[in-house]
Amino acid sequence: MSSELRRGRARYRATVEYDGTDYHGFQVQADKPTVQGALERALADITSGAVRVVGAGRTDSGVHALGQVIGFRLAWRHSQDDLQRALNARLPEDIVIRELALAEEGFHPRFSARSRAYRYTVLNQPLRSPLGRRFAHQVAGPLDLLAMNEAAAALVGWHDFATFGNPTRGENTLRQVMQATWGQAGHTLFFDIEANAFLRRMVRTVVSALLLVGQGRVETESVAALLAARERRQAPPPAPACGLCLMQVKY
């Protein structure tokens, strides 16, 4: 029997939703509010001890999540429903545990994931939206959705995305993108992208490049040219964090 089991510690997995506006990203940092820090404080409150939380993705400062997945070990004598209620009662209003269950042996939120899906939201209208500003990037001028989708098609498949982001560890910048498409509902545009993994700021930099295409400032072929360049200096600045949300982690 493992030492974890002898101490009565079970392995849990949970799906977390959060508004990342007021946080300096997911990963814990000294003297700065983070989502991981808030989760670990809530766990410490109910156990009177330190509990380490591991996330499926290290979302950046200001980035949101509907389907972040976390894992942790905990000695808990009550039901999983009781644990979920206890955590949500202690978490701030902009973070909630949507689902919680026992994790299978060997499960790791990050390394067990097959893919991650993000959505970037653009509010395409001249007037700003006080209600939408926390969750969408406003672009006042017209956008060519057809051209943006044509440019986005170049992203699908295995590519070296060195132009669009930095690896979180090591030097490997090869990633497989399964989906990269724009949709529209009224004045709101959605960019959905799914990949086996992402580089730091990769989605926001891709969005920025595609918006330049949509505005007619560059040709549709420019995105493929940026991919081929594999040179970070050639990329435009990343789009604002407010529009980005981690929608789902697939296992």
Instruction: Tell me the per-residue pLDDT of 201-217, one tens digit each, with 9 for 90 and over.
Output: 999 999 999 999 999 99
Averaged pLDDT of the chain: 95
With a pLDDT cut of 90, the percent of the chain lying above it is 93
Distance between CA 231 and CA 164 in Å, rounded?
Answer: 8
What digits encode the pLDDT tens for the residues 141-150?
A: 999 999 999 9
- Do the domains spanning 3-102 and 115-250 agree at the CATH topology level? yes
For residue 10, give the 3-state DSSP assignment: strand
Residues in the chain: 251
pLDDT score recorded for residue 8 = 63
Distance between CA 152 and CA 186 in Å, rounded?
Answer: 21
Above 60 in pLDDT, residue 227? Answer: yes
What digits encode the pLDDT tens for the residues 61-79?
A: 999 999 999 999 999 999 9
What digits encode the pLDDT tens for the residues 52-62?
A: 999 999 999 99
Kindly report the number of other CB atoms within 10 A of residue 148's CB atom: 24
Task: Please list the alpha-helical segments (H only) found in 75-170.
Answer: 80-90, 145-152
Given 22, 60, 144, 192, which residue is catalytic? 60
Q: Measured between alpha carbons, how far is residue 28 from residues 34, 41, 54, 88, 172 in Å? A: 5, 11, 10, 19, 24
Global confidence as pTM: 0.94
- In sequence order, which residues have a C-beta less than 8 Å from that of residue 174 and are 6 or more positions away? 158, 159, 160, 161
pLDDT score recorded for residue 6 = 40
Above 60 in pLDDT, residue 234? Answer: yes
Structure tokens belonging to residue 182: 């724009």
pLDDT score recorded for residue 49 = 87
Q: Which of 132-136, 165-169, 209-213 has the lowest mean pLDDT?
A: 165-169
- Asked if residue 249 lies in contact with residue 218, where contact means CB atoms within 8 angstroms, the answer is no
For residue 168, name the pLDDT band (cuts at 50, 70, 90): confident
Above 60 in pLDDT, residue 247? Answer: yes
pLDDT score recorded for residue 4 = 44
Task: Please list the alpha-helical segments (H only) found in 115-234.
Answer: 145-152, 202-214, 221-229
Above 70 in pLDDT, residue 2? Answer: no
Q: Measured between alpha carbons, how far is residue 217 from residues 10, 31, 148, 243 in Å? A: 54, 41, 12, 21
Q: Where are the domains of the chain?
A: 3-102, 115-250
The CATH number that domain 3-102 falls under is: 3.30.70.580
Distance between CA 225 and CA 221 in Å, rounded?
Answer: 6
Above 50 in pLDDT, residue 169? Answer: yes
- Catalytic site residue 60? yes
With a pLDDT cut of 70, the percent of the chain lying above it is 97
Mean pLDDT, residues 117-133: 96
What digits encode the pLDDT tens for the residues 174-191?
A: 999 999 999 999 999 999
Distance between CA 236 and CA 240 in Å, rounded?
Answer: 12
For residue 9, name the pLDDT band (cuts at 50, 70, 90): confident
Is the CATH number of domain 115-250 3.10.129.10? no
Distance between CA 70 and CA 111 in Å, rounded?
Answer: 12
